[in-house]
Structure 1
Amino acid sequence: MPHHLMNLRHVPDDEADEIRALFEAHEVRYYETPPSRWGISMGGFWVHDEDEAARARRLLDDYQRQRAQTQRQAYEASLAAGETGGVWSMLRRRPVRTLAAVLAIVVIAGLSLLPFVRLG
């Protein structure tokens, strides 16, 4: 019976490539199904054997712990360098783009709520 190891929806290409390399380095017999364009089916990494699934899950757990640490460090370095931040840093770097996005959000929210406001 197939065992689903990991969903591939919203997984960056570099992460999926690293997982493929990890499985191949440890000779995990896996197969992969791609996610559909319309979000109907989830893609993922699968194995047939239960023992293989347990081994692959241990490898995935270790990999994801390491990836979380490296991504957190990269984010903190980017934050310290001033490359990443919240709305205020975006407003300082790209004021026109940020204000246009905020204006678009307000217009869309207003148009969406307009029928409900008119009921009252």
Structure 2
Amino acid sequence: MAKLLLNLRNVPDDEADDVRELLDENGIAWYETKPGPWRISVGGIWISEDAAIVEAKRLMAEYQQARGERARAEYAAAVRDGTAETFLSQLRAEPLRVVLTVVAIILLLGLVALPVLLLRG
């Protein structure tokens, strides 16, 4: 019976491509399911053979470890160079989106606090 190796919800295309390539390089049989039409069910990368799932998970763990280290190194380099994304850089690039997001957060916090305020009075 097939086993799910990677749920493709919120997985970047480059990561999914890397996983497909990793499985092919190691001779592990896999197939992919596509997301449903309304995105209720997401796609996934499945391992066809039960015996290969242990090896696939080991390879996946190594890949994720290396990808995490690479991402941390890239972020550290961006911080050193001053090119890392900050709140102020986002505010300069997209002021309307940032302001609307802050307003939405304040409104939601107000809605959460409203019952408490009404019960006190």
Normalising by structure 2, report the TM-score.
0.76
**C-alpha distance in 1 between matches for 2:108 and 2:37:** 26
1:1-120 matches, cutoff 5 A: 1-36=1-36, 40-87=40-87, 90-91=90-91, 93-94=92-93, 96-97=95-96, 98-120=98-120
**C-alpha distance in 2 between matches for 1:104 and 1:4:** 37
Question: Aligned letter for 1:65?
Answer: Q
Normalising by structure 1, report the TM-score.
0.76
Alpha-carbon distance change, 36 to 112 in structure 1, aligned in 2, over 3 angstroms: farther
Residue deviations 1:80-106, cap 9 Å, x none? 222325435545x45844444323321
**C-alpha distance in 2 between matches for 1:37 and 1:82:** 41
Alpha-carbon distance change, 96 to 29 in structure 1, aligned in 2, over 3 angstroms: closer
Question: Aligned letter for 1:31?
Answer: Y
Residue segments in structure 2 that go unaligned for 5+ positions in a row? none
Count the aligned residue pairs: 119
**C-alpha distance in 2 between matches for 1:95 and 1:26:** 44
**C-alpha distance in 2 between matches for 1:103 and 1:94:** 18
Aligned-residue CA RMSD (Å): 2.6
SS in structure 2 at match of 1:6: strand
Residue deviations 1:44-84, cap 9 Å, x none? 22123222112211211111111111111111122222232
Question: Aligned letter for 2:117?
Answer: V
SS in structure 2 at match of 1:46: strand
